[in-house]
Amino acid sequence: MLIVGLGNPGDRYAQTRHNIGFMVVDQLGERWQLSLNKKGHQAFWGQGRRQAEPVILLKPQTFMNLSGASVASACKAFGCDPGQLLVVHDDLDLPFGQLRIKQGGGHGGHNGLRHIIKVLGTSDFLRLRLGIGRPGEGEEVVAYVLRAFTAEQKQQVVPLLQRASEAIEAIVDMGVARAMCAFNGQNSIGN
């Protein structure tokens, strides 16, 4: 399975809402003792095993809006069809702290997903959507996603990352259907 965390490269974006996909992949690397120190496919990546399942963790370095170039390159190199691809990303349409596993669908206005779908020519891949909530009245969406979490949210990001990592482990260990039943609709910071 190819597990892709979406985000923007560089220190400027490291702790922003839009980079929560990177944060999850970094946590998985720590949990699985899998270093993302390889460079290629316009990304940092690492390869290992979860149980008996081969896994690849990937953090595209193309900036969010061009994520598809990195993902397509990795899919081609590793012989990964869309059914073996999991994209982890921020989602404005879910309340902060909620996560949802989803198979296929549209891009929902997310430019990283939009580019992946365009380059792969399909939207039939698995997603782990991480709720970041919506901006306040009159606040620009771009400014909101590129801003750091609030002080209160920062304390809640750790349980969200933990829950997201557990959801991915469930997908790999038990399959998508069982993972969906176990994780969809639950709030990582309240359930």
Write out the catalytic residue numbers: 18
3-class DSSP state of 50: strand
Is 187 annotated as a binding-site member?
A: no
Tell me how crowded residue 57 is: count the other CB atoms within 10 A of its CB. Answer: 27
Is 125 annotated as a binding-site member?
A: no
What is the b/e burial string over 96-106, where b = at least 16 CB atoms within 10 angstroms of the residue's CB?
bbbbbbbeeee
DSSP state of 60: E
Evaluated on CA atoms 185, 186, 190, 191, the torsion sign reads: positive
C-alpha to C-alpha distances, 174 to 4, 167, 169, 182, nearest whole angstrom: 19, 10, 8, 10
37 vs 138: CA distance, rounded Å: 41
Is 63 annotated as a binding-site member?
A: yes
State phi, psi for 33 to the nearest 5 degrees: 50, 50
Is 111 annotated as a binding-site member?
A: yes
Residue carrying the six token digits 């316009």: 42
Annotated binding-site residue numbers for tRNA: 13, 63, 65, 111
Annotated binding-site residue numbers: 13, 63, 65, 111
